[in-house]
Structure 1
Amino acid sequence: MQQVHKMQVSGSFCANICLRLSVLGSALRISGIASVATLSVLTSAAIIANKQAPLDISFDTLMQSAASLTGDAHTPVLREWEILLDKAHELSVGERLQAANHFFHRNVTYVEDIDNWDKSDYWATPLETLTRGKGDCEDYAIGKYVSLLHLGIPNARLRLIYVRAKIGGASSPISRPHMVLAYYETPQSEPLILDSLTRDIHPASERPDLLPVFSFNSDGLWVGNQRSSAASPTQRLSRWRDVIERMNTEGITWNKD
């Protein structure tokens, strides 16, 4: 199976994804695949096999939670998110990645936690991120991850990856902690990277500035290039456990096996 090598957000794609979420094959650069539809067919079996989604989103509950936090001022962005997650089910896998990626880049401004939350490190829920309209790398990654799970992307194909990002390029001696979301078309595929630092979706080989440390999703935690999970992510990552607990109270319910 071939894989999507790079996706760029074009102006026409952005306009249409916001207004009517139409299928625009020109928004994707696909190598070795005859059409976007072919990619959707190739991945459909895995999506169907994942019978129970890892989470359920109640937008009525989210709206109530938003009202208790900030009033009704931020309801429109939640309604837009609801429409996106409803309509984007009709899109190909590649376009679902694009839709989730673009939505958070368009509605969230990058702000460090110390300026946003007066804390050195805080993992926000998608509701907190969208109602504030601000967030850092973890917040972008978590929001996109939740969106793609709701859109039917199998959990096994998604990982949140903690990396060291080299500042100024791959040859820079200066690095800082960073988080991205990765999509794997197959377990052996080169992952596609969804990053708060860029609106474009790139294959990992085009991001030599990122040095992976560990990765996780709601099912497992992997260190380095391990193929099997090293531990339960909610047991080992207190911030991940905390953000899931807050999501559960806000209207994003995580299903237990």
Structure 2
Amino acid sequence: MKRSTLYRLTLFLALLLSTGAIALTDKQQALVDKVQAFYGDRAGQRMLAWRRVMDENQTQHHTHKLNAINDFFNQLIFINDDVLWGQEDYWATPLEFIGSAGGDCEDFSIAKYFALRELGIDDSQLRLVYVKALTLNQFHMVVAYYPTPTSVPLLLDNLNGEILPATERPDLLPIYSFNGSKLWLMKQKGQGQLSGQSSRLSTWNDLRQRASDTPLRRPIINLDE
């Protein structure tokens, strides 16, 4: 494993050791135990570090929550689906993303979206946005946060760790976006045109069902080795 990869992964352990133990609900502890048993001890440490971030940010302002979640998940490793999962396009659940220690842009964005929803940010303020990353000349996904219904959204991205307004990301060309209920065609850097229900997206439906049922899938390579 590359030295930079090992460095990123040690940040989780450093976060764990920074303060005392946290209190977990029975359900949260069961999920930590499940991920640790399936993926190994380091995955269990990452789960505890994630739960610490969630616990410490429950009552924080939205801006603080955005930064904490963006910074936490951006520590994980970017790796393409065909390398990690052996298929061209696989949307991992947040537990699979944390457990396997890496994923592609969809996995970064999905994990951030679910974490922000758990932290109490309303679904109407969040969207998963498919864009064209012009510099890389490839499709990409980010999370958009709307402080108000008419605001230019702030973008959470694994390519650029700084949370910026969409108008300050000329390298990204929006295509469409969705959240838990709606789907938009993105014709501008703001709202876009409502195009129906997000249930039209079969991959999104499948991901949400798996996230609810919490099954786990083992990657074909171990990023913790």
Q: For the residues of structure 1 that align with 2:116 and 2:131, how far apart are their CA atoms?
A: 21
User: How far is 1:64 from its partner?
Assistant: 4.4
**Partner Cα separation in structure 2 for residue 189 and residue 76 of structure 1:** 37
CA shift in 2, pair 1:227/1:209, >3 Å: closer
Structure 1 residues 241 and 61: alpha-carbon distance in aligned structure 2, compared to 1, 3 A threshold: farther
Compare relative contact order (CA 8 Å, sep 6+) and give the higher one, 1 or 2: 1
| TM-score normalized by the length of structure 1 | 0.69
Give, as a single letter, the amino acid of the residue that structure 2 aligns with 1:62: L
Change (3 A) 1:245 1:198: same
**What's the secondary structure of 1:221's corresponding residue?**
strand
Match of 2:59 among 81, 90, 97: 90
Task: Give secondary structure in 1 for the equivalent of 2:195.
Answer: coil
Q: Distance in 2 between matches of 1:164 and 1:247?
A: 26
For residues 98 and 124 of structure 1, the distance between their equivalents in structure 2, rounded to whole angstroms, comes to 22
Structure-2 separation of matches of 1:212 and 1:71 = 38
TM-score normalized with structure 2 length: 0.78
- Equivalent residue, structure 1, for 2:115: 147
Shift of 1:73: 4.1
Aligned residue in 1 for 2:102:
134
1:220 maps onto 2:182 in alignment: yes
2:150 matched to 1:182?
no
Instruction: Identify which of 102, 114, 122 aligns with 2:82.
Output: 114
Other-structure match for 1:81: 50
Deviation of residue 65 (structure 1)? 3.5
4+ long deviations beyond 6 Å: none
User: Residues 223-242 of structure 1, C-alpha deviation per residue, up to 9 Å, x if partnerless?
Assistant: 124666422212x2111111
Distance 1:228 1:69, change over 3 A: same
The yes-or-no answer on 1:249 pairing with 2:213 is yes
Structure 2 CA distance, aligned partners of 1:61 and 1:237?
Answer: 30
Aligned to 1:44: none
- CA RMSD across the alignment: 2.4
Deviation at 1:167, TM superposition (A): 2.0
- Look up the equivalent residue of 1:159 and give its one-letter code: R
Aligned residue runs from structure 1 range 31-110, under 5 A: 58-67=27-36, 69-106=38-75, 108-110=76-78
Counterpart residue number, 1:195: 157
Aligned partners of 1:154 and 1:58: how far apart in 2?
22
- For the 8 Å contact 1:159–1:182, the answer to whether it is kept is yes
1:254 equivalent in structure 2: none
Identity over aligned pairs, percent: 39
Gaps of 5+ in 2: 1-10, 20-25, 216-225
Shift of 1:82: 1.2
Asked whether the equivalents of residues 113 and 135 of structure 1 are also in contact (C-alpha less than 8 Å), the reply is: yes
